[in-house]
Structure 1
Amino acid sequence: MMQSYAAWEKRVRSLAEALMGPDSEPTRGHVLDFLRAGEHGLAIETLADWIGDLEDPAHVAPADRTRVLDLASDFPEETQIRVRHALADPACG
């Protein structure tokens, strides 16, 4: 990772807490648990999967989707691919 793990974790934690409301508590808990365990790839993939599974994609602004992609950019290509796939808009493909 280009940035420190602590800074990266803080960005992911902040984004997860900002986007995920009480109805998403189990998934948010998984993201935070993965961060605590040092499973950074699983944390960002879980966040991306949650966004991709939303019934209303407009719930997450394009800028926030871009932030998730940016957070995944330092990971191996397979993680980046899974994150991009999770965030893909099915209406566009």
Structure 2
Amino acid sequence: MVQSCAAWEKRLRELVESLMDPDSQPVRGHVLDFPRAGEHGLAVETLADWIGNLEEPAVVSPADRARVLDLAADFPEETRIRVRRALADLAGG
């Protein structure tokens, strides 16, 4: 990653805390545990999947979706594609 892992993890944690309510605790735990295991890409992919699978995806603002995409910016192309695809589901495809 171009930025430090600590800075990236802080951005991830802040985004997760702002988006996920207590009902999302299992997914929240996974997203926040993945970086501790060195699975940063899996963390951002899981967050994007969670957003893409929301019953009311409009509750996640375009700015927050952009923040998720920004978290994936330094990852390999396949990770970025999976994140974009999961977030594209918000628009119905």
Q: List alignment gaps of at least 5 residues for structure 2.
A: none
CA distance in 2, matches of 1:30, 1:52: 16
Match of 2:15 in 1: 15
Matches within 5 A, 1:39-50: 39-50=39-50
Match of 2:58 in 1: 58
User: Size of the alignment, in residue pairs?
Assistant: 92
Matches within 5 A, 1:1-93: 1-88=1-88, 89-91=90-92, 93=93
The Cα of 1:57 is off from its aligned counterpart by 1.0
The Cα of 1:5 is off from its aligned counterpart by 0.5
The Cα of 1:59 is off from its aligned counterpart by 1.2
The Cα of 1:90 is off from its aligned counterpart by 4.3
CA distance in 1, matches of 2:10, 2:39: 14
**Residues 19-58 of structure 1, C-alpha deviations (whole Å, 9 max, x = no match):** 0001100000000110211210000000000000001011
CA distance in 2, matches of 1:65, 1:23: 20
Q: Secondary structure at 1:73's aligned position in 2?
A: coil
TM-score, with structure 2 as normaliser: 0.94
User: Considering only aligned residues, what root-mean-square deviation do their CA atoms show, in Å?
Assistant: 0.9
Q: List alignment gaps of at least 5 residues for structure 1.
A: none
